[in-house]
Amino acid sequence: MYRIDNLQYANWSEKIFRQMREGGLDAVHVTIAYHENFRETVLNMEQWNRWFEQFPDLIVQGRSAADVRHAHETGRTAIFFGFQNPSPIEDDIGLVEILHDLGARFMQLTYNNQSLLATGCYEDADTGLTRMGKQVVREMNRVGLVVDMSHSADRSTIEAADFSERPIAITHANPHAWQPALRNKRDEVIRAVTSNGGMLGFSLYPHHLKDKSACTLASFCQMIADTAEKFGAEHLGIGSDLCQDQPDSVVEWMRVGRWTKEIDYGEGSAAAPGFPPMPDWYQDNRDFGNIAQGLADVGFSQAEIEGVMGDNWLRFYELNFGPKP
């Protein structure tokens, strides 16, 4: 069994890299851009290169599924780059291939707002994929940069799933029916993604959980079981959205970027705009294995547990990180 967490934005450090190893994480998809432009994103990649140099016994850059297997065999964690906004490509479709060559493997078409490509989940009107969005999706398909719709609105997500010639992903969200957050996904959205071969990664970010920080492991795993019954366990994985050790100011960067002068509280509380406490059964990467036990407790087979814990993501990586066949 491989263990893969397909979304984190921690305040990276040797401590966290060692906790990844303690938790047996074979791969982690890390956010390296929220609102950064191309040059700023490259600077973030430079910082990761330094970490790969400093901690070669703990982490290695991931570009393919083979890198996950190699990391597993050598006791390390493969790090895959992703963007939560298309801002790194600016308005230049040619940068899609450049960024893939530099190691990017996931890109959201929107964060919470309208982008040049599609509509974010906080907008009042969802106009779907734009003209540029369709061109960029085709280019992403060609080079092997996965379309991620985690922060996108419903119509845009469904259109992306149907228009894309390769499976897409929602790397970190939960069913809206379980917890009606704006960012969580309605059944018709999950169906569009999974019926086209795509993946849903379940989020542990408390604003996306039923009962938030008080969410129980049993509730979370029963939600996964209910989703598997509807859409198939083979399309499900984990994208924890772990933001460990981040200062509260980072939430402001996520939500505000450079697009407004006002504080945007999103789905958080205006009275407590920082990061909410994580559930007690998932404090950091060392707790990743708790999910496997929770899935067993709600009746998942061993093969299904192995799929959700990482094997499904590994299969998805195998099919979608390289150039279009």
Residue 113 one-letter amino acid: N
Type of residue numbered 207 = H
Say if residues 167 and 197 touch (Cβ distance below 8 Å).
yes
Rg over alpha carbons for the chain, rounded to the nearest Å, is 18
What is the pLDDT, as a whole number, of residue 325? 80
Q: How confident is the model at residue 24 (pLDDT cuts 50, 70, 90)?
A: very high
Residue 238 pLDDT greater than 60, yes or no: yes
Q: What is residue 248's predicted lDDT score, i.e. its pLDDT?
A: 86
∠ CA 152-112-97, rounded to 5°: 65
pLDDT of 298 > 60? The answer is: yes
Average pLDDT value for residue range 8-21: 98
For 265-290, what is the mean pLDDT?
83
- 315 — phi, psi (to 5°)? -60, -40
Give 105's DSSP letter. E
Tell me the three-class secondary structure of 286-297, residue by residue. HHHHHHHHHHHH
Secondary structure in 3-state letters for 206-263: HHHCCCHHHCCHHHHHHHHHHHHHHHCHHHEEECCCECCCCCCHHHHHHHHCCCCCCC
CATH number at residue 196: 3.20.20.140
- The pLDDT value recorded for residue 112 is 94
How far apart (Å, rounded) are the C-alpha atoms in residues 295 and 272?
A: 32
Q: For the chain, how many structural domains are there in total?
A: 1
The pLDDT confidence band at residue 301, using thresholds 50, 70 and 90, is very high
**Where on the phi/psi map is residue 257: left (φ > 0), alpha (ψ -120 to 50), or beta?**
left
Q: What is the pLDDT of residue 252?
A: 83
How far is 137 from 164, CA to CA, in rounded Å?
A: 6
Report if residue 325 sits inside a domain.
no
Is 88 part of any domain?
A: yes
pLDDT, tens only, 307-323: 999 999 999 999 999 99
Distance CA 208, CA 65 (A): 29
Q: What is the mean pLDDT of residues 233-258?
A: 91
Residues 180-230: tens digit of each pLDDT: 999 999 999 999 999 999 999 999 999 999 999 999 999 999 999 999 999
Partner residues linked to 5 by β-bridges: 28
What percent of the chain has pLDDT above 90? 90
pLDDT at 131: 98
pLDDT of residue 272: 57
What single letter denotes the amino acid at residue 49? N
Beta carbons within 10 angstroms of residue 92's beta carbon: 10
pLDDT in tens, 250-276: 888 888 898 888 877 666 555 556 789
Full domain range(s) for residue 58: 4-320
Q: Is residue 125 scored above 80 in pLDDT?
A: yes
Taking residues 278-294, report their average pLDDT: 98
Q: Is residue 248 a part of any domain in this protein? A: yes
